[in-house]
Structure 1
Amino acid sequence: LINYLKVISNRIVIRNNKLQLKFQLDDQLDCHTNKLKKIKSLKKKIRLLDEKIDSKLDSKIDSKVNKKVDSKVDSKIEKEKNEYINKKQSLINEITLLDNEIIDINIDSLNHQI
């Protein structure tokens, strides 16, 4: 009877451990999902910034073609372009950080499973 109870107790412990691991993996999956959503959002922002930069460059080219550009307008457009490029780089850096966090979580998860 004691051996039987020990076996049942061990099975309960194993089931409990499996449940804890499942909850941890579910939490990690939620974390991954949220980070991937954020990456998608950041990539969309980058695309919009690219479109704005393209639009600014197109308007700059058009205005140069029309020969209505003076140095003030030129420098203003250049400044805006640089601001957009800086924002884009910031978003790319944020995506990289999120990607690295996801990789770290995956490695931690694999180590835990091993």
Structure 2
Amino acid sequence: MTDTASRLQLLHFARQVVEQQASAALAQLDQWIAEEERREAERRRGEQARPAPPDWLIQYGLNRTNVDAVHTGDCWAAAKSGRCHPATREQAVDALAQQVPACIHCRPDTALGVLE
């Protein structure tokens, strides 16, 4: 009978181990879920707090003084240059009037109704 009692004790022990491991695994998953929910909420708050992109951009040269181009606010080429600053509609029109080239990709001159 000692073999049966010993086997029964081992089975109870094994069940306790599995239960503890499952509880630990669930606790870890719950922590990961909570962290991901926090990150997602922070991302949403960041998107809501982000200011609207400018309508127009002025691209400056490498020396930061001469003006190289005029872009629409969502132009992919302007985003790649990293040398653009937000501009008002009036500033963009003025730059085009001063012979600053319009971006060939986003065509701000067409969007502004100012064709060269």
Interval containing the TM-score (normalised by the shorter chain): 0.3 to 0.5
Higher helix share: 1
TM-score, normalisation: structure 2? 0.47
Higher strand share: 2
TM-score, normalisation: structure 1? 0.47
